[in-house]
Amino acid sequence: SEQVASLGKEIQMKKIIFLIFSLIGMSSCDSDTNRDLSFSEVLTSAGAGKAGAQDGIGIEALLNRPHGVAQADSGIVYFADRGNHQIRSYNPQNAQITTIAGSGKPQFADGEGVEASFNQPIGVAVDCQGSVYVADRENHRIRKIDSRGKVVTVAGTGVAGFVDGEAMQAQFNQPYGLALDREEEYLLVADYLNHSIRRLDLQTGAVSTLAGNGSAGNIDGKGMEARFN
């Protein structure tokens, strides 16, 4: 019957949603932990629906084009508030939005918390120690916020380019998405305008290209023979 078919589709959709959110929420810290998640409706956790930069609880907070999201083992959710040029956090226990780094001005500066500056940060990844890695898109750099809120640059010269090598001599062109490997030895970077996947060795600081050669295309293959767009 139509009711049975509709119920089957609903169950399948819930399975898909469960899988997506499980993958998003999973970190290398708790990869062996089974999470009991269920979804029945969409709720606004934070943000008033208008652009702004204001910390607060739930819909009292104001955001401006939030992009990348990563959840720490503590449960705290970190995200890149691109339009505000800040990195902010969301505490699911009390719905509190807090700015952890970024002056709000599209500039570049390392430093403590809001003394530091980003320029359209867009991707984040969080490790087991609570450090947050940031794809600082328009600064063409990879940044790191330690558990105390100090921001440092871990890779990139600040000039758009496509260069492997030592972290501070390597170049990116609008780094976008980030992910840590299970052992947290490497940070993987989707290098947007270089059409490539790069890797930062967190032990040695070396940046290498895993796949893609800087030219846009749609080709499967090994390493730099492959093309992305």
Q: What are phi and psi of 14, to 5 degrees?
A: -65, -35
DSSP 3-state assignment of 9? helix
> pLDDT for 60-105, tens place per residue?
999 999 999 999 999 999 999 999 999 999 999 999 999 999 999 9
Q: Which is nearest to 24 in space by CA: 82, 78, 69, 76?
A: 69
Element at 18 (helix H, strand E): helix 2-25
pLDDT, tens only, 11-50: 344 343 333 334 444 455 655 545 566 667 888 889 989 9
pLDDT level of residue 5 (50, 70, 90 thresholds): very low
Q: Write the pLDDT tens digit of every residue in 197-228.
A: 999 999 999 999 999 999 999 999 999 999 99
Length of the chain: 229
Please, which pLDDT band fits residue 109 given cuts at 50, 70 and 90?
A: very high
Q: Which residues contact residue 140 at a Cβ distance below 8 angstroms, ignoring those fewer than 6 apart?
A: 156, 157, 158, 159, 160, 161, 171, 172, 173, 174, 175
Identify the pLDDT of residue 43: 84
